[in-house]
Chains A and B, each alone.
Chain A
Amino acid sequence: MNPPDHLVLIVDDDERICQALTDLLESQGLSAVAFRSAGGYLAYARPDVPACLILDVQLPDINGLEFQRQISEGDHPPVVFVTGHGDIPSSVRAIKRGAVDFLTKPFRGPELIEAIHAALAQDRRLRQEKAELEELRQRLCRLTPREREVLPLMVSGLLNKQAAAELGISEITFQVHRGKVMQKMEAASLADLVRMAERLRIPVTHSRRKAS
């Protein structure tokens, strides 16, 4: 059997809930794996596919909300909370920390499926963005030190003359570096390069007006 293109991770201490959720998700063609505790989930070697995490608020080893806070720093899929009895402050906290949804048991099937799909979509998008960013980083790594000095000056919008003066090199030399940067970063236009620099959080250090 081919590895699935997605995975729903379930963490709930109640065996019956785990079974029911797995069954429901499978009936919808979704791959699911269930864990009875937060520790079991952490120990699992997660496949590198879009995923989402269905988290019970009352876990045997830790409070679900606290667990969400702990994993928020790391590389974990979006969370959908389910709880026996939801209260407004808890749900607000969960959503603020990025939970996709906060469902109260017993939940309606479609509602849950919808939330799972939303979460998977979000994870796909995140994974996509992350992959793109990773690609841009790869490209950035290919630049020489001089080219890495040239890039910020380019995206700052300086004239070639100004930028060359800034670096203490001739305008011709600067134009050569500039061409290499555009080529290595696979940028179609200067606007494209500016967008890339933004995603790579390369600061705009100079202003054309300031220099003039």
Chain B
Amino acid sequence: MSISSVVEDGGTDAPGRGVGHEARLIVNSMPGLGWSADPSGRFVHFGLRAREYAGIPADADGIGGEDGFGWTHLLHPDDVDRATGAWLRCVDSGDPFETEFRIRRCDGSHRWFRASAQAACDGQGRTTGWYGTMIDIEEQRQVQEALGRSERQLRLLVDTIPALAWSTTSDGEVSYASRRMLDYLGLSGEEPFPMPVDAMHPDDVPAFRRAWAAAAEAGSPLAFTCRLRRGDGDYRWHEGRAEPVRDQSGRVIQWCGVNIDVDERQKVEEALRTSAQQLRLLIETIPALVWCVTPEGEPSYLSKQLMGLTQAELESPDGTWLGGAIQAFVHPDDAPALRESLMHSFRTGDPFRMKYRHRRSDGIYRWVEGRALALRAGDGRIVQWYGVLVDIDDETRGQEELRRAQDRLARASQLTSLAELSASIAHEINQPLAAVVTTSHACQHWLSADPPNIPRALAASERIIRDANGAAAVVNRIRALFQRSEAARQPADMNEVIAEVCQLLRGELAARNVRVETDLERNLPPALVDRVQMQQVLVNLIRNGIDAVASPDGASRPLSLRSRRDDAGRIVIEVRDEGAGVLDTERIFEPFFTTREFGMGMGLTIARRIVEAHDGRLWAAPNQPAGAVFTFAIPAEEGEPP
């Protein structure tokens, strides 16, 4: 204001000196660093404060320099072109000059100034000169820059965090969306923000609206899960969290939130849920009952049928679920053995396996095979028992039939030298013998006829010789049958042979309710044996064992099978029972010695012959505390490293 009046006043004077003098006064009295320029933009005066600032001596004339632009040397080099350009444009147009730049202080540092200048005009509107000033804005500028940096930092942060950040007004209109959010939605940021629900899967909108309404109502944090449509049209699961922002009066003015992509997790969870559901369905559908119990014997999962235990049924003697289940589902004859076997497994961690009769929901007992395995934690601790029951009733009955057939067969083969086969052997020998006897009678008649018929008698005697030789050949053939040639011997793992025999006798063991415990030494060297004969020996010994321990009440003691290698490198197999034991450990190997009602008393004799034919030994000894142990030792195959 004062500038213009002065200039106007000055305008009455002759141009030049008068103006110059006054202008100097004006310039020096202006706030900031005052200056003036002539109409063509050349600097005329540079105020005192400006001179002080820049360190220009007061008497030094012409900051404007020869061309009136010397002042530009005081500017920061980066600002020179911009500031000069702006100034010249204003001089050209007569528009007020307004720009910011850095000016070098006398100490050599630069500070920001805002320069503003206005043209002074005479009565005819001609520009007579320019008056300007520069205000130090260094501090303001620094604050702004700090603010800008902090905002950039914040934006960087918001755009970098792996989440979609947003804010809405208190009405729920989107007021900000982070770069990531825009990118995700496929927006450039130019267009107006969509409403939040516009990008949501329609199925998820109602739940979101409810959650939003509840949070808005209570002013409490908002949490939601929904599918958000990506720019390419795919929906991905997101989990959203938002907090209300309040003003000083506590009124909610906006909401700030983030969405985190949880699609993978959601899908995994969904897959898990589906798979768990399928598993459950599978478990309920498979023709087997499944149970899981804790090491303490409490159920953690049960098939439906097993869950149908009533409270009354649970009132078992020991009051546990297991006790109740055994009482409710297991045939009374099988219950003690089952309990013992289960307890044994629970105690030792050994797998459980037993065949027993299980009561179906219709009250009928059917044979099932129960099995259980322990799941162990990394430290070997048992965390859970997993068990199944498989109905094997039909199979068991079928096996029982099969077993009987096998029995007949085995019995026949056991008595090859004696009973069943004697019939066919007798037939084989009898035929030629009958022919011999008959032809002999014929021969006799031909000879005793009158006259004797010599040719016929000779023919008859020839046939007698032929048929008698035939009978002898039969006998030789039968002998060869019993002396199986050594060529039938092959290297065999006796542990495998034991496993085969256990498999063969499985049905019989189940039917007689005898459990076999095996203790087999790993890495036994092979033995050169006739596998079938070794099976016969083991079948014989195990059958004897079954007969010794089986009892009609089902509470039989287990039979134990052991294999090992002795100091001499022989393979030793033991069959141990806790039955009544044997009185005479040698007589039992004599032919026809039997303590049983049925049986020829040949089994052990044949078994010993077989073992001896393998250069081995078979003997019996009393077992401690009760029963008997049958042991046989055969050499390991030669040439094998010990």
Residues of A within 8 A of B (CB): 14, 16-17, 19-21, 23-24, 26-28, 58, 82, 84-85, 105-110, 112
Main DSSP-derived SS at the A contact region: helix
Interface of B (DSSP majority class): helix
Q: Is the CB of A106 within 8 A of B436?
A: yes
**If A17-B431, A85-B423, A85-B426 touch, does A23 touch B437 (CB 8 Å cutoff)?**
no
Contacts of A82 in B (CB 8 A): 434
B541 — which chain A residues lie within 8 A by C-beta? Answer: none
- Given A16-B467, A112-B438, also A28-B427 (CB < 8 A): no
Stretch in B55-63, B255-263, B441-449 touching the partner: B441-449
Q: Which residues of chain A come closer than 8 Å to B527, judged between CB atoms? A: none
Q: A20-B463, A85-B427 are in contact. Are A109 and B441 (CB under 8 A)?
A: yes
Q: Are A16 and B435 in contact (CB under 8 A)?
A: yes
Instruction: Sort chain B's interface into a size bin.
Output: 20 to 34
B433 → chain A closest CB, angstroms: 5
Would A28 and B467 count as touching, CB distance under 8 A? no
Contact of B426 with A107 in the complex, beta carbons under 8 Å: no
Which residues from A are CB-within-8-Å of B453? 27
Residues of B within 8 A of A85 (CB): 423, 426-427, 430
Question: Are A23 and B442 touching (Cβ within 8 A)?
Answer: yes
Known contacts A17-B431, A106-B434: A23-B439 contact under CB 8 Å:
yes
B424, chain A: closest CB distance, angstroms: 9
- 5 CB-based A-B contacts, threshold 8 Å: A16-B466, A20-B467, A58-B427, A107-B437, A107-B438
Cα separation A82 to B434 with both chains bound (whole Å) = 10
With the chains together, A20 CA to B431 CA distance in Å? 11
A23 touches which of B427, B433, B434, B460 (Cβ 8 Å): B460
Bound complex: CA A24 to CA B443 (Å): 8
Interface residues of B in 449-463 (CB under 8 A from A): 449, 453, 456, 459-460, 463
Which residues of B405-446 are within 8 A (CB) of A? 423, 426-427, 430-446
Quote the shortest CB–CB distance from A97 to chain B (angstroms): 23
Which residues on A sit within 8 Å (CB–CB) of B443?
Answer: 27
Tell whether B470 is near chain A: CB-to-CB under 8 Å.
yes
A178 to chain B, nearest CB (A): 58
CB distance from A180 to the nearest CB of B (A): 57
Not counting A20-B463, A109-B442, A112-B438, a sample of 16 additional A-B residue pairs whose C-beta atoms are within 8 angstroms of each other reads A16-B432, A16-B435, A16-B463, A16-B467, A19-B463, A20-B438, A23-B438, A24-B445, A26-B456, A27-B453, A27-B460, A82-B434, A84-B426, A84-B430, A107-B434, A109-B437
List the A residue with the shortest CB-CB distance to B445: A27
Contact string, B457-496, partner A, CB cutoff 8 A, digits 1/0?
0011001001100100000000000000000000000000
Residue of A at shortest CB range from B448? A27
Complex-state Cα separation, A85 to B470, whole angstroms: 19
B463 neighbours in A (Cβ, 8 Å): 16, 19-20, 23
Minimum CB distance partner of A82 in chain B? B434
> Cβ of B460: which chain A residues have Cβ within 8 Å of it?
23, 27
